[in-house]
Amino acid sequence: MAFSGNFMCTSFKQELLQAKHDFTNGSGDTFKLALYDNSASFNAATTAYTTSNEVSGTGYSAGGGTLTNVTPTTSGTTALTDFSDLTFGSSTITARGCLIYNTTAGAASNTTNTVVVLDFGSNKSSSAGDFTIVFPTPDASNAIIRIA
């Protein structure tokens, strides 16, 4: 089992139509990013955060880090949203990919509804340093979540 690419979770697409996700900065939902090793096996059918194969190490706690939302916008006919880069500081971590999930989906609390599966392409490691996930340029061609 291993990471096999980036996937927008099918359950997320359905939940968008049910108004369960709000990416607005400040007043929106709370999204988190959890890191995993290459034993994790996620795809579009992944529906929830799991602790199975989640990484461990200095500077990282189960559940991962909380993301800062960037209020959705549009570019031409594409709607898009973004997150601020996330850093696990002073960390010693090795990870192959991550899950972004919503902890307040549908105005509930402690939810684990997945949004997207992201494959780093290879193992990435920090050693007593910073481990930073850099989100792509928030435009119609590259933004982390785009609806064209």
Partner 1 sequence: MMVEGGKISPGIVEVQTTDHRGFTPEEVAERCLNKLISVSDTAPPAIKEQALAYKDHLSAVLVFYMKEAVNSDRTTIYNVLCDAGQKDLAELIRRL
Q: Residue 136 Cβ, how far from partner 1 at the closest point, in Å?
A: 4
**Can you name the residues that pair with 60 across neighbouring β-strands?**
57
Give the integer Cα–Cα distance in Å for 89 and 92: 9
Q: What is the Cα Rg of the chain in Å?
A: 15
Q: Residue 132 Cβ, how far from partner 1 at the closest point, in Å?
A: 5
Q: Residue 109 Cβ, how far from partner 1 at the closest point, in Å?
A: 26
Give the integer Cα–Cα distance in Å for 63 and 72: 24
84, two tokens: 């601020």
Q: What is the helix (H) or strand (E) element at residue 78, kind and residue range? A: strand 78-83
Residue numbers 115-144 binding partner 1 by CB under 8 A: 116-118, 120, 124-139, 142-144
Cβ atoms 82, 137 nearer than 8 A: no
Q: Residue 38 Cβ, how far from partner 1 at the closest point, in Å?
A: 14
Number of residues located near partner 1, criterion CB under 8 A:
37
Per-residue x/- track, 18-57, partner 1 (CB under 8 A): ----------------------------------------
Q: Residue 76 Cβ, how far from partner 1 at the closest point, in Å?
A: 10
Tell me phi and psi for residue 86, to 5 degrees. Answer: -120, 130
Q: Does 89 bind partner 1 (CB under 8 A)?
A: yes
Residues near 141 by Cβ (< 8 Å), separated by ≥ 6?
A: none
- Residues of the shown chain interacting with partner 1 in the complex, contacts defined by CB under 8 A: 6-8, 13, 16, 77, 85, 89, 95, 98, 116-118, 120, 124-139, 142-148
